[in-house]
Amino acid sequence: MLERIKMERSAENLRFFNTLTRKKEKFVPLEKRKVKMYTCGPTVYDFAHIGNFRTFVFQDLLRRWLEYRGFKVAQVMNITDIDDRTIEGSRKENIPIKQYTERYTKAFFEDLEALNIERAEHYPKATEHIPDMVASIKQLMRKGYAYKGEDGSVYYDISKFKDYGKLSKIKIEELKPGARVKVDEYGKEKACDFALWKAWDKEDGDVFWETEIGKGRPGWHIECSTMAMKYLGETLDIHSGGVDLIFPHHENEIAQSEAVTGKEFARFWLHSEHLLVQGKRMAKRFGNFYTLRDLAAKGYDPRAIRYLLVSTHYRQQLNFTFEGLKAAKSAVDRLTNFVERLHEADGEGYGEKIEVLMGDVKKNFNAPMDDDLNISVALAALFDFVREANKLIDNNVLSKEEAEKIYNLIMKFDSVLGVIGEAKREEKLPKEAEELIRRREEARKAENWKKADKIREQLKVMGVILEDTPQGVKWKIERKR
């Protein structure tokens, strides 16, 4: 793990766009320096696709920025391992649901690793919290917010919750009284009472729990309310997810949680926009549906994918294209090469001017990030700086000490971006390569160009790249990606 470099501790100007108020608001957590954050996790019925990862990478950026600003983050991400889709999937394959969901849970964590997404503090699984959910539902029934339908399922009565619609801004007068829905996902036009507990039916097969509220399984929405409050308490600082979760999922989470506690459930709601692929909504039938694995199989570097997902502001639609992915790859390479070049610096020094340049890039990176994670502006400032500093290396102006300071600054920015990783400060040349370089120098002195070129090729096969410069021969080790 990369050593965490000293944090920037001034968070006075930190502002986020809050979906609840549709405004940018100054962010101050309830507890000083601690942020309680809940992020809706994957439903493990399939491999997560790049649209899902856009949201997870956004949440990672949010987490890393809070850490950069000196907050300690307690993040919970649920694993939905019981819902309509996981049951359907396991039934299709005719295997136990646990076996089915474990496959995709494992894949999900591998993908997080590949995308360099920091681990949350807790990943509670829905199936391991059934008694907690039953307790929440019983409380809602006791308080008059829930009722048992004639089908044995327990429904939330949205007419009883006066704030229903405050997040998605739907108007409750438009709702049909008494209408209700048992499926987990539905649209705004169908807003109505929703299932907290689904009574068993034959479609569920052997997936059920025998509980005080009947034989069945929880609805999707109660899973999140219950687990969020269990691990983080009654009021969260931040709740986030993709925009498609605003209704009904997050609206229902508010209704459930606030009816139980009488307190505000989440103070800030942050939502990331959709991802399009080549200008279209991603769908298997359009042939533009990609998982992370699909892209890795095509040879794309996960760090370039991360960069592409992270580099568009989260509240803008992101159009994923292969040209964009290539551009992302070259942006990552530019940063990585820059960091590598910093070890070469050996000049007289740029003096005070380097402090000014570094001060500027810090200001110009931090200010837009504090302004609702405006990453495009922050990245533009970073690349301007890289261009200037590259010129100083070209002209052999930068001193070793200055290069070291710049290295630390870039790695601090990368604690947020997460695309450079552990750039090696000193690379070691294998003994064999050292010997080959020596022999090539001899051949060159003897003007035996043919032999010199042959040795260069041999070194290339070993991953050692030579460059003949006026200062002599230089080498670098090609990164295996």
Residues that bind Zn ion (CB under 5 A): 40, 224
Ramachandran category for residue 170: left, alpha or beta (phi over 0 → left; psi -120 to 50 → alpha): beta
Please say whether the beta carbons of 356 and 405 come within 8 A. Answer: no
Distance of alpha carbon 274 from alpha carbon 318, whole angstroms: 7
Task: Using the structure block, give the residue that is written with the tokens 């070993």.
Answer: 462
Residues 6+ apart with CB under 8 A from 264: 235, 258
Distance of alpha carbon 455 from alpha carbon 449, whole angstroms: 10
Distance of alpha carbon 109 from alpha carbon 64, whole angstroms: 18
What are the φ and ψ backbone dihedral angles of 112, each rounded to 5 degrees?
Answer: -60, -45
Distance of alpha carbon 365 from alpha carbon 384, whole angstroms: 11
DSSP code at position 330: H
DSSP code at position 208: -
Q: How far is the CB of 383 from Zn ion (least distance, A)?
A: 36
For strand 236-242 and strand 266-272, is the pairing parallel, antiparallel, or unpaired? Answer: parallel
Distance of alpha carbon 163 from alpha carbon 172, whole angstroms: 9
For strand 23-26 and strand 34-39, is the pairing parallel, antiparallel, or unpaired? Answer: unpaired
Distance of alpha carbon 191 from alpha carbon 178, whole angstroms: 11
Q: Tell how far CA 154 is from the center of its chain.
A: 34
Q: Which two tokens stand for residue 447?
A: 């003007």
